[in-house]
C-alpha cells in the first residue's frame, strides 16, 4: 500500500584524511552549526557486508556521533535522530541480513515516519521492490520500482566504477546544500541501477552511456548510489548535510 506521502508501508577514501576537516568545510556558518552537528546522533546499521568504518569515520569527520547498531533493540537504545543503511557487495545478502535481524521492519517504519534516513549504494537499492541481481531479489518494497543491470555499449565497462559527475534534480534538497546543481563528482562502484516508478523521487542523476538515478529523496529520506565516504570533500558535504537534517530531529 502506498501512503499519501508516497511511501509504501506494510574504506574511507585514501585521499581524504580526518585531519583535513577544517579544509573540507570551507564555508562554516558559525560555531553554532558545529555544535548542532555534534548533537546529531546517527545510528549506522551493521549488516555484516558494509564499509562500516568508512561511513562512521565520515560521520565523525563532520561532527556527528555515529552509533553502530545490529538489532532493532540497539536502534531503540541508541536514541538516534538519524539512521544510515550502508552496503557493499550482493543485494541478496544485504536484504537477507536485514530480514534475519528484523531490521527490515525498523527501516520501513523509520522511513514511513519521515525520520532522517540515508541509504548508501546497496542501502538505496534495497528500498525498491525487486532487483535483477543474482536471478532476482525481492527488496524491502518501500518505494515502487526496480533495480536493473546496466545495458551499455561495449566502450562503457561494467561495473560502473570510478568518479562521475551528477546533476541534482531536486536542487533545493537539504542533502544538496552548498553543492552545485551540475558537475559535482562522486565515486561509484555498481553494476545495477535503480529505476523508480515515480520520477519525482529522483534527487540526482548521472550519465554513463545513458542517464540513470544517482540519488533519491522524499521528505527526510535520502539515498545515494554513489559512495559519499569515498568521495572526498563533496562526499563529506553529503554527510554534513544529512547530519544537519538529523540534528533537527
Q: What is the pLDDT of residue 87?
A: 85
How does the average pLDDT of the chain come out, rounded? 88
Q: 50, 121, 194, 221: which one is catalytic? A: 121
Q: 65, 74, 184, 229: which one is catalytic? A: 229
Q: Which residues are within 8 A (CB) of 211 and not within 5 positions of it... i.e. 6 or more apart?
A: 205
Cα 180 to Cα 166: distance, rounded to the nearest angstrom:
9
- The yes-or-no verdict on residue 31 having pLDDT over 70 is no
- The yes-or-no verdict on residue 104 having pLDDT over 70 is yes
- Would you give the DSSP letter of residue 221? E
Alpha carbon distance, N-terminus to C-terminus of the chain: 26
| Chain-centroid distance, C-alpha 230 | 12
As a whole-number percent, the residues of the chain with pLDDT over 70 amount to: 85
Cα 227 to Cα 155: distance, rounded to the nearest angstrom:
23
DSSP per-residue letters across 114-163: T--EEEETHHHHTTEEEE-GGG-EE---SEEEEEEE----TTS-SSEEEE
Q: 160, 190, 193, 227: which one is catalytic? A: 227
229 is catalytic: yes
Cα 225 to Cα 125: distance, rounded to the nearest angstrom:
8
Residue 37 — very low, low, confident or very high, per pLDDT cuts 50/70/90?
A: low
Q: What is the pLDDT of residue 111?
A: 98
- The yes-or-no verdict on residue 19 having pLDDT over 70 is no
Q: 6-20, 129-143, 175-189: which has the minimum mean pLDDT?
A: 6-20
What's the 3-state SS for 8-72?
A: ECCCCCCCCCHHHHHHHCCCCCCHHHHHHHHCCEEEEECCCCCCHHHHHHHHHHCCCEEEEECCH
User: Domains (ranges, CATH) in the chain?
Assistant: 29-247 (3.40.50.880)
193 is catalytic: no
Q: What is the pLDDT of residue 161?
A: 97
190 is catalytic: no
Amino acid at each position: 500500500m502506498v501512503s499519501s506521502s508516497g511511501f509504501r508501508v506494510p574504506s574511507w577514501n585514501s585521499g581524504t584524511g580526518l585531519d583535513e576537516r577544517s579544509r573540507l568545510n570551507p564555508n562554516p556558518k558559525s560555531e553554532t552549526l558545529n555544535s548542532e552537528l555534534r548533537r546529531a546522533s546517527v545510528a549506522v546499521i551493521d549488516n555484516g557486508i558494509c564499509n562500516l568504518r568508512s561511513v562512521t569515520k565520515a560521520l565523525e569527520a563532520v561532527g556527528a556521533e555515529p552509533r553502530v547498531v545490529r538489532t532493532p533493540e540497539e536502534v531503540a537504545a541508541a536514541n538516534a535522530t538519524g539512521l544510515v543503511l550502508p552496503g557493499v557487495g550482493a543485494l541478496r545478502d544485504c536484504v537477507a541480513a536485514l530480514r534475519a535481524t528484523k531490521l527490515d521492519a525498523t527501516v520501513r517504519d523509520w522511513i514511513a515516519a519521515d525520520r532522517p534516513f540515508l541509504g548508501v549504494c546497496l542501502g538505496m537499492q534495497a528500498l525498491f521492490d525487486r532487483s535483477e541481481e543474482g536471478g532476482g531479489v525481492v527488496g524491502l518494497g518501500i518505494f515502487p520500482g526496480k533495480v536493473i543491470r546496466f545495458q551499455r555499449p561495449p566502450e562503457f565497462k561494467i561495473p560502473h566504477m570510478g568518479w562521475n559527475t551528477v546533476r541534482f534534480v531536486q536542487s533545493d534538497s537539504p542533502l544538496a546544500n552548498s553543492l552545485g546543481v551540475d558537475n559535482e563528482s562522486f565515486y561509484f562502484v555498481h553494476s545495477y541501477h535503480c529505476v523508480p516508478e515515480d520520477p519525482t523521487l529522483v534527487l540526482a542523476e548521472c550519465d554513463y552511456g545513458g542517464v540513470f538515478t544517482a540519488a533519491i529523496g522524499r521528505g527526510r529520506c535520502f539515498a545515494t548510489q554513489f559512495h559519499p565516504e569515498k568521495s572526498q570533500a563533496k562526499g563529506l558535504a553529503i554527510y554534513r548535510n544529512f547530519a544537519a537534517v538529523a540534528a533537527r530531529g
